[in-house]
Structures are given as C-alpha cells and as structure tokens.
Amino acid sequence: MAIASPPPAATLEPEALAARYHRVRSASLALAEPLAPEDQVVQTIPEVSPTKWHLAHVTWFFERFCLLEYAAGYEAVDERYHYLFNSYYYTVGEMYRRPARGLLSRPTVAEIRDFRARVDDAMLKLIARRADDPAFAFLVELGLHHEQQHQELLLTDIKHVFFTNPLGPAYAELPQPPVATSAPLTFIPRPGGLFDIGATGDSFCFDNETPRHQTLVRDHALADRLVTNAEYRDFIEQGGYDDPALWLSDGWALIRSEGWNRPLYWSEDLEQEFTLGGWRPIDPHAPACHVSYYEADAFARWAGARLPTEAEWELAAANQPVTGNLLDSGLLHPAAGEAPARAADGAPLLRQLYGDVWEWTASPYAPYPGFKPLAGSLGEYNGKFMCNQMVVRGGSCVTWAEHVRATYRSFFYPRDRWQFLGFRLAKDA
C-alpha cells in the first residue's frame, strides 16, 4: 500500500509549511480510508485507541496549541472535544479515561472528519499569516511529527482490533514481501570509548533527544542483523518459555499469569502469523516481532548474548542513511533483510538498523544529563514518562522514513507487544 511521504522537515516558507501540513494531515485520512466506520470505533485493550480517536486527538492538538494560542478570535469547534480528545496534558485540563475510549460512539466518524476539515481550514489561514514566527512554526512542526506518531499508532492499533475479530479481516491487500534468505548471524566488533550522543538541535528533534552529551561505552559487538522468526521459533521449541533461569522476575511472573508461549499474532502451531493483510505463513527469514522486552531479554540470555544499550545502537546508526523497510515501502510488515554487505576493507556492515521493527534496547527511558523539557504544557509530551519504560530505536515498517533518525528515542513498557517490537543481539568484548 503506497502512500506519499511528506517532504523532509526543514525551515519552511509559509507556502512550503502549508504544503507540508496538508500532506501530513492528508496521510492520516489516507491511512483510515480502507476502514469502515464500524472499524474505527473499537478498542480492544487499554493500549489501543480507536481510529477515530486518533484522527480527533491530533486535530485537538492543533486546535488547542496553535489556533487557540495564535489565532485571535478563533472559537473551538466544540468545547467538549477538549475533554474527549486530550490525551495526557493535565496542565490544560482533565480528560476522558484512556481505557474507555472505545465507549465513545459519539461524536461519529463523520463528525470527526468535519472537525478535522474545519481545523485544517483555520490552520492553513493561520500558517499563511504566522509561519515567519519561529515559535509558531515549531509548534506546527511538532504537531506534524506528533501526527506521524499517531499514524503509526493507527496502524498498530487497527491490527490488534482485526486480530481480535474472529473473522480475521485484513486492513489491506499487502504486496508480497521480497524473497530473501537470512545469512548466519555475525557479530561485528565495535570499539569503546567516550562518545557524544543525542541531538544537536540543528534540525527538528524531540526534547528527549537532548542535550547532546558524552557517554562512556565499553568495547562490544553488535549483531549484523535482527533476530529472525526461525531463530525465535528455535527458542520456543527448545523450551525458552519454560526455563525460569532465562527470565527476569517480572517477566517470568507475566508470561505465567498471561499464558504467553509465543509472540503476539503467532498461531499455536507456530506456522501462521496475523498481519495487516490477514493471516499469512510465517516467513522464517523475516525479523521476529511483537515480542515484549522480557521476551527479547530472555532470548538474548538463551543465545549467550544481551540486548544493546541505546548508546551502542545510536553510535552504530549515526552515520547510516535512514533507509529500510519503513512505511514508505508500503509492505506494512517486517521483511527479510538484504544480503550481507561488506565495507571496502572487507569488514561486515550492520543491516536493518531502520525499519522492520523497533529494536528493544537494554536502556531504561531516563533523562539525558542536563535534560530540560519544553516549556509550559508541551513539557508533558515526553519528560513525565521517564520512568518504568525501556528505550526502543530505529523505527518500524509503519514509521515514516522522514520521521525517524539516529537520535530518535521512543519508549514502551517492558510488557508491551502490540507494537512492531523486535530486537538484535549484542555481546561484551
């Protein structure tokens, strides 16, 4: 399913910023287009939000933080929406409970699309007048990146909704992935030392990517590719879910209480997996995905390895182009990687750094030294979640290439599996 990617973020003239706004906003509607209205109101677990809620929430963001702050005389489309579609900005008001979003039959999908159209009309007029204001232009850019995050969530959430439906409906007829065979996994040595990581702030980034700072990294080695379905199936068949010695205490308690014995979306016979294109045979050479941090960590112990730290991952990706199986490819599912590649001196190169699956790291999501959140209510965007979550890196098959970069830090709870979450291995030198 091919969808035009928005142009790269940059300092844009009013016409260019308006065009970027239009394209990003239109992409949300294009992603929702294959869905019936009934599909867009379902919430299967607290982590999943209905499609129509995503479409409304990102619109609320522009109305609340751009139009009501910068457009003199603007009146909210419906004041009640500020309660229904706020997500976690308590400094601007209370909000409807996240686990109950699926109970909102009203406003309807049609009413939310009308809400979007009215806000878009006002935003485009405002951009024409205020795009030369750096503070306003940053808010628009932040809102567009926020919308791209929700475009990814729209896809991961509807996948869970369709998986839960006994009919197993498909979101779209997906293209066949390229046929490839994964080569034996190779560990690539990487030197330790004192390195700089984090964003410089020269182009758009989220506040949690800053400040750039020094960090000490030990000599280590990174796997040249992601762990595959075939390798993960070996872990299952050799009793990986039955050996408490492999598991963190919380992970062991979780898999026993939930009855987990395979990745989310795998069939009991370990032969089929549910995709956005419906049920498909598992490709043994494609990256394993929809596994929790606990499962990734247990596999790493079983394999005599560990998960990389986020600093190790970022340093490896820092000089690599953002290419791979991302949303731009239209596959909407992890795919077997390219053949092993070597540098001019014959040394093996890292593969699959971007796309396919978000890669679990061994790093807790915490502030960088000297971190300062954005001022005001937007400081709630990232900083207050810096507890009890783990950092993931690299984007997935439903992340725009334009949206991700080497310094990008996303984060999930260790038990989360509904996202496209996978991993690569690391070792100490």
For 219-255, write each residue's pLDDT tens digit: 999 999 999 999 999 999 999 999 999 999 999 999 9
Query: Which strands, in side-by-side order, build the sheet including 390-393?
Result: 410-412, 390-393, 358-364, 421-422
**pLDDT higher than threshold 80 for residue 194:** yes
Per-residue pLDDT reduced to its tens digit, 119-149: 999 999 999 999 889 889 999 999 999 999 9
Q: If you compute the radius of gyration of the chain from its CA atoms, what whole number of angstroms results?
A: 22
CA proximity to 315, closest of 186, 198, 412: 198
Beta strand pairing call for 421-422 and 358-364: parallel
At residue 402's C-alpha, the angle toward residues 396 and 408, to 5°, is 60
Q: Is the pTM of this model over 0.75?
A: yes
**pLDDT higher than threshold 80 for residue 9:** no
Per-residue pLDDT reduced to its tens digit, 260-293: 999 999 999 999 999 999 999 999 999 999 999 9
DSSP 65: I
Compute how many other C-beta atoms are within 10 angstroms of the C-beta atom of residue 217: 17
Residue 72: which region, alpha, beta or left (left: phi > 0; alpha: psi -120 to 50)? Answer: beta
Q: How far is CA 307 from CA 196, 239, 313, in A?
A: 21, 20, 10
Give the dihedral sign, CA 123/125/129/132: positive
* Topology (CATH) of 14-164: Four Helix Bundle (Hemerythrin (Met), subunit A) (1.20.120)
Structure tokens at 6: 């928005």
CA 285 to chain centre: 22
CA proximity to 363, closest of 313, 300, 292, 289: 313
* pLDDT band with cut points at 50, 70 and 90 for residue 11: low
Instruction: Provide CATH 3.90.1580.10 ranges for the chain.
Output: 187-428
Instruction: Provide CATH 1.20.120 ranges for the chain.
Output: 14-164
Once rounded to an integer, what is the mean pLDDT over residues 70-87? 96
Helix, strand, coil percent content, the chain, rounded in steps of 5: 40, 15, 50
Q: Exposure of 3 by Cβ count < 10 A (0-12 exposed, 13-18 middle, 19+ buried)?
A: middle
Diameter over CA atoms, the chain? 66
Given this model, what pLDDT does residue 216 score? Answer: 97
d(CA 355, CA 323) in angstroms, rounded, equals 8
Once rounded to an integer, what is the mean pLDDT over residues 77-87? 96
**pLDDT higher than threshold 50 for residue 4:** no
* pLDDT band with cut points at 50, 70 and 90 for residue 179: confident
Residues 6+ apart with CB under 8 A from 378: 65, 142
User: What's the mean pLDDT when you consider all of the chain?
Assistant: 94
Given this model, what pLDDT does residue 321 score? Answer: 94
Given this model, what pLDDT does residue 5 score? Answer: 39
* pLDDT band with cut points at 50, 70 and 90 for residue 12: low
d(CA 250, CA 257) in angstroms, rounded, equals 11
Find out whether 3 and 27 touch, Cβ atoms under 8 Å.
yes
**pLDDT higher than threshold 90 for residue 202:** no
Please tell me the CATH code under which domain 187-428 is placed. Answer: 3.90.1580.10
**pLDDT higher than threshold 50 for residue 8:** no
Structure tokens at 37: 């209205």
d(CA 361, CA 290) in angstroms, rounded, equals 15
The count of C-alpha atoms lying within 13 angstroms of the C-alpha of 188, restricted to the half-sphere facing its C-beta, is 20
Beta strand pairing call for 324-325 and 354-355: parallel
**112: helix, strand or coil:** helix
